[in-house]
Amino acid sequence: MQKLYVGNLSYDTTQESLQAHFEAAGTVTSAAVITDKFTGRSRGFGFVEMGSPEEAQKAIDMLDGKELDGRPIKVSLARPKED
């Protein structure tokens, strides 16, 4: 599995629409829109986990810069969480 960072999300984007958008590139094992813990509103980014590194690369090639809910999204490999 390979995790992708997805930036510049519309506040209207849901986990379901994010997952559906990425399924065009392959198997999506999880999709999450990161929300503010106090307001519950989207913070404008999320993460998508693809089934394989090949599918992750295909998703980057296919979807980086493409529109989702009216905004061009930024798709890249997620960096490991730092302490």
Residue extents of the structural domains in the chain:
2-70
Q: Which helix (H) or strand (E) holds 65?
A: none
Neighbouring C-beta atoms of residue 68, cutoff 10 Å: 20
Torsion of CA 50, 76, 24, 63, to 10 degrees: 180
Architecture of domain 2-70: 2-Layer Sandwich (3.30)
Q: What is the pTM of this model?
A: 0.92
Q: State residue 36's pLDDT score.
A: 95
Closest to 74 in 3D by CA, of 63, 1, 35: 63
User: If phi over 0 gives left and psi between -120 and 50 gives alpha, with beta otherwise, what is residue 26?
Assistant: left
Query: Would you state the structure tokens that stand for residue 45, as one six-digit string?
Result: 């980014």
Least confident range of 7-11, 28-32, 48-52, 76-80: 76-80
Give 9-28 pLDDT, tens digit per residue.
Answer: 999 999 999 999 999 999 99
